[in-house]
């Protein structure tokens, strides 16, 4: 599944790199790790997007090659905790319906 399939025009993106960390706000929101060709590898939420991106950058698993490629982009949307949980559930469900499984790095279902 590709980022465009989410139908979310308001997503911002930065390269998934420590050098680009300053381009990610410390705000809450939803985010997606994606390959160079925009294949979704992980969907998540955080109360601090910048800190969460850094934690992924320090995780060898998230830096590894996958069948869809390496994580190359960090897409995000700033929103409140009340807003980001429904987005996360919806995006994970959409991925499951389209691909028959969760994104490569998502291991569990989003909480209800």
pLDDT digits (tens, 9 = 90+) for 47-75: 999 999 999 999 999 999 999 999 999 99
Alpha helices in 15-77 (DSSP H): 49-57, 60-63
pLDDT band at residue 112 under the 50/70/90 scheme = very low
User: What are the residue boundaries of the structural domains of the chain, listed by start?
Assistant: 3-99
Is the torsion defined by CA of 65, 69, 74, 76 positive or negative? Answer: negative
CATH number of 3-99: 3.40.1440.10
Is the torsion defined by CA of 63, 17, 31, 7 positive or negative? Answer: negative
What pTM did the predictor assign? 0.92
């Amino acid at each position: 599944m590709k980022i465009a399939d989410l139908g979310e025009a308001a997503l911002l993106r930065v390269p998934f790199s420590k050098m680009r960390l300053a381009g990610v706000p410390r705000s809450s929101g939803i985010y997606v790790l994606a390959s160079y060709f925009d294949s979704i590898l992980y969907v998540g939420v955080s109360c601090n997007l910048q800190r969460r991106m850094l934690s992924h950058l320090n995780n060898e698993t998230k830096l590894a090659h996958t069948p869809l490629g390496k994580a190359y982009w960090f897409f995000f949307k700033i929103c409140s905790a009340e807003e980001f949980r429904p987005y996360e559930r919806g995006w994970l469900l959409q991925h499951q319906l389209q691909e028959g499984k969760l994104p490569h790095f998502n291991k569990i279902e989003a909480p209800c």
